[in-house]
Amino acid sequence: MIVVDDVYKRYQTDHGPGKWVLQGVSFTIPPKLNVGLVGCNGAGKSTLLRLIGGIDTPNRGRIERHCRVSWPMGFGGGLQGSLTGRQNAKFVSRIHGHEDDIPERIAYIQEFADLGDAFDEPVKTYSSGMKSRLHFGLSLAFDFDVYISDEVTATGDAAFRTKAAAAFKELTGHASLIMVSHGEGTLKQFCTAGIWLNEGKAHWFDDVRDALGAYKDSQTVSEPVSITFGQSGDNAEQIEKEAEQARRLEAVLEMLQQGKNGTPVCVEFEEFKGVVQTAKKAGIELASEGQIAKRGYQLKPDELPVLRRRAPEPINKLVDLYDLHTQCVKAKKE
């Protein structure tokens, strides 16, 4: 059982304490129950997973874990960049008390992560997707009562996504799952209950379909009309337009701040262009690893993505994005 009691969470920004991501969140997850987290981008889904998994701590409130909980599968941190994938696997095996069967554990992790020769290369040379696959294999190599997944089913190629889905099915009956996924079908397939995160609050639903319904309804509610007295119509419209731009910029900066804290938000393909344009206004140029190389740059060591973009159908995989100006350096010419 996991108890989340009156939890508050916000992050420190360059301008002081940021907005509350979670405010007074409380719920109890019973044993052997699969739960899906839903909500818009920046609602705090990945933040909540990090808190439940013990990767981060709340500013206020408490989280009780009366069971063994995995770290979030898909979380990009926690690996020693100068060590190889094999060496990281050996280190984690020892931490979990598996000194006697390390070869078997490493063999499982290597086969599942399917990194090829890269398994014996330093982790700092991995892409974020490769790190996520290694984390996934590491998590499944050990017995937990609760496994936490953050968009793992969107990691890698179709073959790996099929392997991930099969692994989740095998957990049924002896362990439970808490997961974030932008795929509605994935949540319906693996989860029974749902938690809808909205404006810092958590709403519990015994049926994940009701949680998805509440989330969809919240997206179709029209915005309230703003009435400003004592101003001409044109002036009022301009003020409202500028206020909307400021709100959009604040939302994007909040998403990117979550990425800098290790929990990159996933943006749907249709939203991506608007996010890129808004980020540029703040001096942030988002680029994928391929775009970074084409521009003659390379990533600094151990950099984590500040954002993730979902590729359009039928590819439907996640693309990691970085800030070209702060996370990259000019590539050295051969």
Highest mean pLDDT among 16-30, 70-84, 155-169, 271-285: 16-30
- Percentage above 90 pLDDT, the chain: 28
| pLDDT at site 153 | 55
The three-state secondary structure class of 263 is coil
Contacts of 218 (CB under 8 A, 6+ apart): 40, 196, 198
Within the chain, residue ranges assigned H as helices are 45-53, 85-95, 102-113, 128-140, 158-171, 184-190, 208-220, 233-260, 269-281, 289-294
pLDDT at 62 over 90: yes
pLDDT band at 96 (very low <50, low <70, confident <90, very high): confident
| pLDDT at site 244 | 57
Q: What distances in angstroms separate CA 270 from CA 10, 41, 207, 313, one per listed residue?
A: 28, 13, 28, 11
| pLDDT at site 150 | 76
Span 306-311, average pLDDT: 81
Structure tokens at 141: 């190599």
DSSP state of 25: E
pLDDT at 276 over 50: yes
- Residue bearing the bigger pLDDT, 129 or 3: 3
Chain-wide mean pLDDT for the chain?
81
User: Is the whole-model pTM more than 0.95?
Assistant: no
| pLDDT at site 223 | 42
Angle between helices 128-140 and 158-171 (to 10 degrees): 30
The alpha carbon torsion through 101, 102, 108, 111 (nearest 10 deg) reads -140
| pLDDT at site 225 | 38
